[in-house]
Amino acid sequence: MEKPTVRIALIGHRFMGKLHSHAYNMVQQLMDLPCRIELAVLCGRDPVALKSAQNAWGWREASTDWRAVVARNDIDAVDIAVPGNAHAEIALAALAHGKHVLCEKPLANTLGDAQAMADAAEASGKVDMVGFNYRRAPAVVLARHLIEEGLLGKLFQVRGTYLQDWAVDPQVPLTWRFDRAIAGSGSLGDLLTHVLDMTRYLVGEFEQVTAVSHTFVSQRPLPANFSGAGLGHAGQAAADAFGSVDVDDVTAVLAKLQGGVVGVFEATRFATGFKNALCLEVHGDRGAIRFDLERMNELDYYAVETATPTRQGFRRILATHPDHPYMQYWWPEGHIVGYDVTFAHEIYDWLSAIVRSERVAPDFMDGLRCQAVVDAIATSARDGVTVRL
Ligand code: SOE
């Protein structure tokens, strides 16, 4: 039978736009997709950079008018890969025009926007997904299988950190990631949301949070080409003009989760020496798991073995066997995969759900639940109180 075709419009052509474009090419060429895809339109604001991205990544058309694009009858699905302040408007318009929507994380910059998006998605009957891509690292899915099989027993504690260090230098310019109006928050929305989502995926819902946030560098040089919407971490600083940072550089959280699980979490752009270290540890009465994104093909697993107490220890599972989640699509055992495949897996699952008219997780409701935790953390840090969800 002829495979159906899904015609995609991608909004955004910077870091995330590049990853998503690469992922579409990978899923078409290397994974056994139940549909054909058409890379129909790539949208962005800078016509020159847009044109070159369009040509390099294989998009049929380029457009600087996303509103017109999401209204087109020859588009089935809209992929949103722009900063958070634009998510709600684009997603709501796309859903109103009957499109399936994939939206980058965090779902929105405010709880109100996230709620409106989840409500609209629910009412639309379309396939909505939020881009918490790390759920789809093979080792993370394996961790979930181990927990579902009961191999960790009754869960006690979860410990999650997301450590980067690109903001340590006070000369790093004031790009959009330091601007609350565009990014919503700092390390909280950008980094901790990945940890919160992975915790919800592996352990369960949050019930209570107590948080501390801090901004270490409150003034930064304006980028040379400052427009209020620079993209990415880097960029050149202008000579002597400075602007204020109004987001958190670090956020730390103590939490209670369902089932009496206690959690400790931290996200920071100031962890000197760490580039992209998302680590999650879960402890139960029968065992434990430990994941580190900087060694993303591996899952550390500890099983409590009373027969041989002196020989117990964490074992390293290289999650690359074809039986491991998603690995059938890639290379022979031991031939590791990278950051980009988590996006390919996400897009593969979104497109497959579209073809089969099924729901897929994490959806906008998951994005909303995560946003509720973000909101509670922000309130706790601001007011110095414990917040119940
Ligand atoms: C920030 O540095 C960032 O690029 C996040 O925005 C991404 O979500 C994460 O995957 C890597 O780090």
Question: What is the arithmetic mean of pLDDT over 63-69?
Answer: 98
Tell me, yes or no, whether 382 and 332 share the same domain.
yes
* Distance set, CA 355 to CA 7, 128, 294, 349 (Å): 12, 13, 33, 10
Burial class (CB in 10 A: 0-12, 13-18, 19+), 388: exposed
Residue 103: its H or E element:
strand 100-104
Rounded alpha-carbon distances, angstroms, from residue 348 to 5, 136, 170, 174: 14, 10, 40, 35
Rounded to the nearest angstrom, the gap between the alpha carbon of residue 333 and the centroid of all alpha carbons in its chain is: 27
At 42, which helix (H) or strand (E)? strand 36-43
- Give, for ligand 1, the residue of 82, 176, 276 to mutate: max count of ligand atoms closer than 8 Å to Cβ: 276
77 lies in the same domain as 182: no
> CA angle, 99 as apex, 96 and 104 as ends, to 5°?
100
Which residue's CA is the closest to the ligand 1 atom numbered 11?
A: 276
Which residue owns the Cα nearest ligand 1 atom 5?
190
Half-sphere exposure of 134 (CA within 13 A, CB side): 27
As a whole number, mean pLDDT of residues 277-303 equals 98
Range(s) of the domain holding residue 22:
5-133
pLDDT score for 309: 84
Is there an atom of ligand 1 within 6 Å of 164 CB?
Answer: yes
- Same domain? 341 vs 311: yes
Looking at residue 89, its pLDDT comes to 98
Which protein residue has the closest C-alpha to ligand 1 atom 6? 190
What confidence tens digit (pLDDT) does each residue in 224-283 have? 865 444 334 555 555 579 999 999 999 999 999 999 999 999 999 999 999 999 999 999
Alpha carbon distance 20, 287 (integer Å): 36
The CATH number that applies at residue 73 is 3.40.50.720
Report the candidate in 212, 111, 223 with the shortest Cα–Cα distance to residue 178. 223
Which atom of ligand 1 is the closest one to the Cα of 133?
Answer: 10
DSSP letter at 306? T
CA distances from 231 to 99, 162, 220 (A): 27, 21, 15
Residue 275, pLDDT score: 96
Q: Are 11 and 90 in contact (CB under 8 A)?
A: yes
Dihedral in degrees, nearest 10, Cα atoms 97, 99, 102, 107: 30
| 191 CA → ligand 1 middle, Å | 6
Global model pTM greater than 0.85? yes
Determine whether 285 is exposed, middle or buried from the number of CB atoms within 10 Å of its CB (0-12, 13-18, 19+).
exposed
- From 111, 133, 155, the end of a domain falls on 133
Based on the domain organization, do 76 and 97 belong to the same domain? yes
276 lines ligand 1 (CB under 6 A): yes
Final residue of a structural domain among 133, 157, 180: 133
Q: Are residues 142 and 258 in the same domain?
A: yes
**294 and 331 fall within a common domain:** yes
If asked whether residues 120 and 50 sit together in one domain, one would say yes
- The one-letter amino acid at 164: Q
Number of domains present in the structure of the chain: 2
User: Does the N-terminal peptide bond of residue 106 adopt cis geometry, omega within 30 degrees of 0?
Assistant: yes
What pLDDT does residue 237 have? 58
pLDDT of 1 reads: 80
| Spatial separation of the C-alpha atoms in residues 60 and 57, rounded to whole Å | 9
Q: How far is the CA of 375 from the centre of ligand 1 (A)?
A: 20
**Domain CATH number, residue 239:** 3.30.360.10
**Lookup result for tokens 């956020």:** 251
Supply the pLDDT for residue 236.
56
Which alpha helices (H) appear in the chain, and where do they start and end?
A: 15-30, 47-57, 66-70, 87-96, 111-124, 138-148, 180-183, 187, 193-202, 339-356, 364-383
The answer for 349, left when phi > 0, alpha when psi is -120 to 50, beta otherwise, is alpha
Give residue 250's pLDDT: 98
Q: Where a domain ends, among 133, 155, 171? A: 133
194 shares its domain with 277: yes
Q: How far is the CA of 88 from the centre of ligand 1 (A)?
A: 20
Per-residue CA distances from 232 to 99, 141, 167, 291, 368 (Å): 28, 29, 12, 26, 25
